[in-house]
Chain A
Amino acid sequence: MTAVTGDVGAEEVPAAESLRVGGWRTVASKEIADHLLSGRFVVLMGVLGIATAAAVFAASGGIRDVAPNAQGITALFLKLFTVTADPVPFPLIVFVGFLAPLLGIMFGFDAVSGERSQGTLPRLLSQPIHRDEVILGKFVAGLTVVAIMLTSLVLFVSGIGILRLGVVPTPTEISRLAVWLVFAIIYVGFWQALATLSSVLAKRASTSAMIPIGVWLVLTLFGSFIFGAIASVLSPQDGTQTAEVAYLRTVQSVSQLSPVTLFQQGSSVLLDPEVRTVGLVTVEQVDRAIVTELNLTQSLAVVWPQIAILVALTSVMFALAYVAFMRDEVRA
C-alpha cells in the first residue's frame, strides 16, 4: 500500500476539522420523522388501536364476570393481557406476539432497498458519514417508533382496564409490564433486523418484504411441526416413558431457537406471576405443590434463558445485516 501511495505523492494527514461524529443521529431523526408521517404508521396504529380495544374490552368483561370468585388474586390487572374471553379468541399477549413480527418487518423491509429504488443511496453514501451510521440510524429509528407504538398500546390497555375494572395496577405490576415491554421491543428488533438484512440482500423492496414474511409464516404456522420433526431425529421415541420425556425435552430445547417460542414463553412468565416454569412439568412435580406467586426477580430468573437467547438472536441478526451492508458494493 505504501509503495502504491508513493506513486501520486505523499499523503497529507488531514486536520481533524468539522467532521461530524454521530451522523447516525441525523439519519435516525430523519427516519423517525419519515415513519411517523408515513401512511403505514397511521394504518398500523389504527389497526392496532381497534384490535387492542376489542381484545381489552373482551378481557375486562371476562374478568368482571369472574370477579366475585377472584378473591385473593393479586395480579388482577395483568390478567387484562393474559385472559381470553368471548368474542375475541386470543389474549392480548398472543395478539402482540402475532403483531410484533409485522411491526418489525414493516419498519425494516425497505431500509436499504427503499434507498436503492429511490436512487438516494449513492447520494447518501457520498456524504461524510460512516456507512455503519446509516444502518445503525435506520435500525434505531425503526425501534424507536416501535417502542412508541407498543408503549402507547400498553398505556391504552391500562387506561381502558382502569376504567372498566376499577383496578389500579400495583407497582409490581407496572414493573412487570415495563420489563415485558422491553422484552417485546427486543423481539420486534429481531424481526426488524431480519427485514433489514433482507433489504440489503434483495434488490427490490417487494422481494425484500417477502423473505421475512416467509420466515415468520413458517415459524408461526409450521413451527411445532418442524421442531417435532427435528426432535424425533435427535431423540427417537421407542414407546417407553423415559424416551417420551426425552423427546419432549428435545422439542422444548429445539423450539427455543425460535424467537416466536421465546417470546411466548417469556411473555407468559413475565406477565403471570403464577407461572413458575416454561419447561416440561410432570404430574408428580405439581402434585400437592402450593400455588404461590413469584415476585419479579423470581420470574426473571425463570425466563432469563429466554431473554438471553432472544437478545443474542437479535444481535446476531443485526450484525448480519450490518456486515451485509458494509460489504455491499455500490455498482455503477
Chain B
Amino acid sequence: METTIRSKGLTKAYGEHTVVDRLDLDIEVGEVFGLLGPNGAGKTTTILMLLGLVEPTKGSIKVLGLDPRHYPLEVKRKVGYLPDAVGFYDSMTGRENLRFTARLNGLDDSEDEIDSLLDLVGLDEAGDQPSGEYSRGMKQRLGVADALVKGPSVLILDEPTTAIDPEGVVEMLNLIRRLAKDEGVTVLLASHLLHQVQAVCDRVAIFVKGKVVAQGTPHDLAKVEEGGQVRVEFRLGGDPAKGRADLESLGTVSDVAAGRVPGSWVAELDAGSLAPTVSGLVSKGADVIGVTRLDEDLETIYRRYFEIHEEAAV
C-alpha cells in the first residue's frame, strides 16, 4: 500500500513541556485514520506540524511524499484542513467564504464546484446567508465544504462533529466514508469521541499526553488487548440475582460484574465458549434478552489507557 502521511519520531516541545512525543504514523492512501485522544493530547499540534504550520522540535514528516517544512505550499495545495472551532468571515456569505478559499488555491472558476459542495454538506439553502448568522454546526459543515474546495487528496479533520446534532453526525460520518471509498481521499480524523472514530475509521491511534499508546484496526486493538478472552454483556430478564447465579453456575465465565442496566451482567469468558454459555443459560430457563460482545468496543481500551496515564501523571 502507498503511504500518504508518514512521520517518524515526530516530537514537539514547548520548552520543557513535550506536547507530541516521538510519534510514528503510517497512513495509507484512501484510509480513514483516527487520532483518538482526550483534549490536550497533542492531536491539533500534530496536525499543525503535518501542515507545516508548526515547526517540529525533532523527527521527520512526509505528506504525499513531501516534507511540509520544505514544500509547505505544495502540501497545503493538496491537503484540505478543517480546524477545530473553525471560523469564517462573518460579513461574507458561506458561498463567498468558499469562493475566497478557492481563489487562494488558484481556482478562479469554481462556482459549480461550490454549488455541489454546499449541496453535499446540506447548506444549499443557507449558502447565501452571511456566515455570521450560522450556528456552530452549520459552520462546521461549511468547514468541511471549505476543506474540500481545493479538491484535496488528503483531508484532515480536527474534531469535525463536536457541534453537530446527532443526525448531522451520521451524515458527516457517511460523507467521510464515501470520500475515502469513492474518491480515494485519505482522511485523518482527530477526535475525542470514541464511538464516532470507531464507526468510521479503518485504523485508530490512541493518543494520550503526546504519545500513541496503541495503534491498529479497532478489531486488532481489541484482540491484542484481551488475549483470547472476550467480554460479554448478558441482559437477562426476571430476577437479577437469579440471573447472576445462573450465569456463574455455568462455570464458563469469570469476573461477573453489574452491567449498564439492572439485570445485565458483564463477564469475561473464552471466545470459544460463548455459544455453550448462551445455550446453558437458556437450558437453565433464564430469559436471555440480549448478548453483546464488548471487547471490540474501543471504550474498554480507551478507558484503561486513560486511567493508566492519568495515574502515571499523578
Contacts and interface: CB of A to CB of B under 8 A. Distances in A.
Contacts of A9: 6, 62, 65
Contacts of B45: 332
Contacts of B150: 127-128
A332 B100 contact: no
Interface stretch (A95-103, A116-124, A248-256): A116-124
Given A11-B65, A14-B66, A14-B74, A118 B88 contact: yes
B6 A8 contact: yes
B146 interface: yes
Contact of B73 (A37, A123, A130): A130
Contacts of B66: 11-12, 14
B41 to A, nearest CB: 10
A330 B62 CA distance: 20
Interface stretch (B78-86, B219-227, B231-239, B285-293): B78-86
A61 interface: no
A18 B86 contact: no
In this complex, the interface size class of chain B, counting residues with CB under 8 Å from chain A, is 35 or more
B179 to A, nearest CB: 18
B259 interface: no
Contacts of B90: 118
A129 B89 contact: no
Contacts of A30: 89, 100
Contacts of A221: none
Interface stretch (A19-27, A201-209, A275-283): A19-27
A287 interface: no
B106 A128 contact: yes
Contacts of A34: 89, 91-92
A23 B102 CA distance: 11
Contacts of B106: 18-20, 128
B11 to A, nearest CB: 11
Interface stretch (B52-60, B118-126, B200-208, B260-268): B52-60
Interface residues of A, number: 34
Interface string B90-119: 111000000011011110000000000000
Given A8-B7, A332-B44, A120 B89 contact: yes
A19 B67 contact: no
Contacts of A4: 59-60
A4 B67 CA distance: 11
Contacts of B81: 122-123, 126
Contacts of B53: 122, 125-126, 329-330
B91 A37 contact: yes
A11 B42 contact: no
B61 interface: yes
A38 interface: yes
Contact of B83 (A14, A18, A126, A331): A126
Contacts of B54: 329-332
Given A26-B103, A128-B106, 8 more contacts: A7-B60, A20-B105, A23-B104, A34-B92, A119-B85, A127-B150, A128-B74, A330-B53
26 contacts: A4-B59, A8-B6, A8-B7, A8-B8, A8-B62, A9-B62, A9-B65, A11-B67, A14-B74, A18-B106, A19-B73, A27-B104, A30-B89, A118-B87, A118-B88, A123-B101, A123-B146, A124-B104, A126-B53, A126-B79, A127-B104, A128-B76, A128-B104, A128-B106, A331-B54, A332-B44
> Which 8 pairs show the lowest CB-CB distances between chains A and B?
A119-B87, A20-B106, A332-B44, A122-B83, A127-B104, A128-B77, A126-B81, A128-B76
Interface of B: 6-9, 19, 42-45, 48, 51, 53-55, 59-62, 65-67, 70-74, 76-77, 79, 81, 83, 85-92, 100-101, 103-106, 143, 146, 150
Interface of A: 4-5, 7-9, 11-12, 14, 18-20, 23, 26-27, 30, 34, 37-38, 118-120, 122-130, 329-332
